[in-house]
Structures are given as structure tokens and as C-alpha cells.
Amino acid sequence: MKIAFVGLGTMGRPMARTLRAADHDVLGMDISSEMRQRFEGAIAPDASALHDVQVIMTMLPEAEHVSDVYRQTVLHGASAGALLIDCSTIDVEVARTLNNLALEKGFAQIDAPVSGGPEAAGSGGLSFMVGGDADHVARARPLLENLGKKITHFGAAGSGQAAKACHNMICGITAMAVFEGFALADALKLDATQFYELCAGAAAQSWTLENRCPIPGVVPAAPSSNGYAPGFAARLMAKDLRLAQAAAEMSGQVTPFGAEAARAFTRFSEATGGDLDFSSYFTALKQQTKTTGTD
């Protein structure tokens, strides 16, 4: 297929690369000249290139970016009957609104946020949480299968974003538990590698533990062992946890641990800029230990 991929950042670039490796004709699009230069494939010269593609995929940081791209470019420039796949993580209501706008214009459209990080994006190992019309999902499935090992259709438009909000709230809460546990283990002078090996083979095992161990040097591939370079930036974790809280408010469900995780990562991101991996939250915990003491 001929695909326009809008958003060539931490997730979008490896996803576009994976689609190219699957023999799709991929045109990259990004407002950042740096991101365009870093992309290994062809770059769309301007929005008119959307007339020549069958599929437009978006992977952008915030709901406002997705809305702007849809309203200002995609819905006016896409060819008749094009398939629109939004892989960004945005709120449920915006996802539903964009789906309605796309359907009114005669396009097929689904929300398909992802889990797995840039490593999985580059290896075709993502998990997709999908919302939209079943026929539209069926059209998108071959592409999603190039990018991911697990594609779950949850229902109508917006349900993919709903599932992502719940999923990421679990990730954020789990992350706080892992980072606080390692902070306490460090304060108690436990050997970090031994403690990691214990947890990895016991009930404390989790994806966050194995992929985001917060103490440098314990897991060589973890961001902590590489200056906390993302990975998944702390500001994006904070954003996703706020989206989960918006979904909780919309549904009337109380989520006290999710609320605390959202507050903690938001405070941390505002204080630091939030550009480092979310596992760098561990450094803030250690600074608090030094300030308040452990006696």
C-alpha cells in the first residue's frame, strides 16, 4: 500500500520504518525539519501528496495536534475513501469526534493506540487497542499486523482510546510501585542486582520491572543505564495518566491510585521538563530521601 505517515518522532519513525520493511510505499510527514531529516525514507513534499495515498496514519503527541492535522490537512487532502488510522494516545471524546468528522467526509477511520514502546515499534511487536467500525478495522488489520503481534478490537470509535487509558493507568501505578520499591531497597543498602533478580522471578515481576529498572547498570538496555534517555518520556506518561483520569471522571469511576500516579508524574514533569524517560522519576524519589532523611 501507499501510506502517508504523519509524525516521525520516537514512535512514529520506527513504525514507518517497519512498514517500509514490509514493502509498503511510505511517505513521511512531520512539521519538524529535524524529524524529516532523520527519517530514512521519502518525505511528502506538501499536503497535496495525500491525494495519492490509500492510507494516512497519525502518531502525534497530543489530542490538539491530531485534531489540527485532521481538520487542517487530512480531511481536506485525503483521496476519496482513504483509510485513516490514528495511533496517537488521545482522549476518548476527541477520538469519537474525529471519527464522526471522517465518516461525514466519506473516509474509513479507526483509533488504534499502541503499547510496547519504540523497541516494539521497530521490531513489529506492538500491541494495538482498536476502536471503530468492524469493516474499517478489517481494512486496517493487515497493516496493523505488520506492526504488531496483538490487535484487539474493543468496539465502537473511541473504545481503543478507552482501553489505552485503562492500560496506561495500570502502567503508571505499577511504575510508581517499582520505583518506590527500588528506592526503599537502595535506602536499606540491598544489592540492586540481587533485588532485581529476586523481583524478576517472584510476584513483583512486571514489564516495568524488566524494561524500566530504575537503577543504572542493573539492566544494560534500560533507559536508566543510558542516562534515562527515552524510551517513553515522563511528560508523556503524565499526559496519559491525566487522560485516564479524564476517562474516570467521564465514567464516574473512582481510581485513587491512578489519581495519585497522575499527580506524581505531572509534578515531576513540570519540575524537570519531563523529557527524560519516565523511570527517571526514581531520581526524584532519591532526592526526597536525601532531603527528609530515613530516620
Residues identified as active-site? 164
Please name which of 148, 124, 150, 153 lies closest in space to residue 138, comparing C-alpha atoms: 153
- Cα–Cα distance measured from residue 17 to residue 294, given in angstroms and rounded to the nearest whole number: 48
Q: Pairing mode, if any, of strands 55-58 and 25-29?
A: unpaired
**Cβ-proximal residues to 142 (8 Å cutoff; 6+ apart), any chain:** none
What residues are paired with 148 via a beta bridge? 126
Q: Distances in Å between the alpha carbon of 207 and those of 67, 71, 139, 154, 269? A: 32, 37, 31, 23, 22
E-strand ranges in the chain read 2-6, 25-29, 42-43, 55-58, 83-86, 108-111, 114-115, 126-131, 148-155
Please report where in the chains the cell 511487536 appears, as a residue: 125
Question: Helix, strand, or coil here: 109?
Answer: strand
CB neighbours of residue 197 within 10 Å: 12
